[in-house]
Amino acid sequence: MKINAKEFVQSLLKENEKYVTDLINGNFVKGYENKKFDLTGIQLFIESHYHLVNIDIGNLATYLAKARDYLEIEFFLLMVNAEKLMLDTLVILGKRIGLTLEDLEASKPVPIIVSRSNYFSKLALYSTPGEIALAILLNFPLWAGGARKLSKALKKNYGLNNKDTDFLDRFSKATEGFNNMAYTIIQKELTDETQLAKMKEIGRLAVEYETIVWKEYYNETMRRIKKNKN
């Protein structure tokens, strides 16, 4: 059985375009594009990502431990460094709207919102590096698409600048080199139809969890706005 990893991933990305479109046109992003919300939802977004990124860094440590060769070590170590930079830039965004590091550390995660990273924790325990790499590649366009539109809205409607939104801008596009590394790792897993079906299911769940998370940003934002008015 010979399946090209890049073609396999691209076909799945094509299938998932509807999820990306729904997310970037969803109520949470639109609320900021239309200046419907104050920064309550962005506070939630920042607090949530503080927990998400911390979980992801822990997951990546496990991914590294599962690496089978130099390329897999390099791939996951690259992501560890990127996640640490995400944490640094997230703190900058938080400070811009009045959240200190202490505030972020004291915040409580919303269970539904951290479900995506908890799913990747399951992958860390039970899946292969190639399966994990596929889930990452399929998940990424949803987060990145939402982040790009959110960044643009915050700068247009809320007075933030490029330094403030670096967290959203810097990680909104995967490099060709990163993708090629992932394709090579994924290629090892494309052995038979059973494995192919398993990988599609792993990727589907990664995409749907990200969709759920962004819907919950809106739901939780509305709950917080209502609570603040009472």
Split into its structural domains, the chain has a count of 1
- Contact (Cβ atoms closer than 8 angstroms) between residue 167 and residue 144: no
DSSP letters spanning the chain: ----HHHHHHHHHHHTHHHHHHHHTSHHHHHHHTT-S-THHHHHHHHHHHHHHHHHHHHHHHHHHH--SHHHHHHHHHHHHHHHHHHHHHHHHHHHTT--HHHHHH----TTTTHHHHHHHHHHHHS-HHHHHHHHHHHHHHHHHHHHHHHHHHHHHS---TTTTHHHHHTSS--HHHHHHHHHHHHTT--SHHHHHHHHHHHHHHHHHHHHHHHHHHHHHHHHHHHHH-
Q: What is the mean pLDDT of residues 117-126?
A: 96
Range of the structural domain that residue 89 is part of: 5-229
Amino acid letter at 222? Answer: M
Given a cut of 80, whether residue 190 has pLDDT beyond it is: yes
The structure tokens listed for 82 are 């990127």
pLDDT of residue 51: 97
Query: Is 70 exceeded by the pLDDT of residue 1?
Result: no
What average pLDDT does this structure show over 96-116? 96
Instruction: Provide the whole-model pTM.
Output: 0.94
Q: Pick the residue with more confidence: 11 or 170?
A: 11
Query: What's the rounded mean pLDDT across residues 120-145?
Result: 96
What digits encode the pLDDT tens for the residues 12-65? 999 999 999 999 999 999 999 999 988 888 999 999 999 999 999 999 999 999
pLDDT value of position 230: 74
For position 22, which CATH number holds? 1.20.910.10
pLDDT at residue 205 greater than cutoff 70: yes
Contact 112, 212 (CB under 8 A): yes
The rounded distance, in Å, linking the Cα atoms of 213 and 211 is: 5
Residue 228: the pLDDT is 81
Across the range 71-80, mean pLDDT stands at: 96
Q: What's the pLDDT tens digit per position in 135-186?
A: 999 999 999 999 999 999 999 999 999 999 999 998 777 889 999 999 999 9
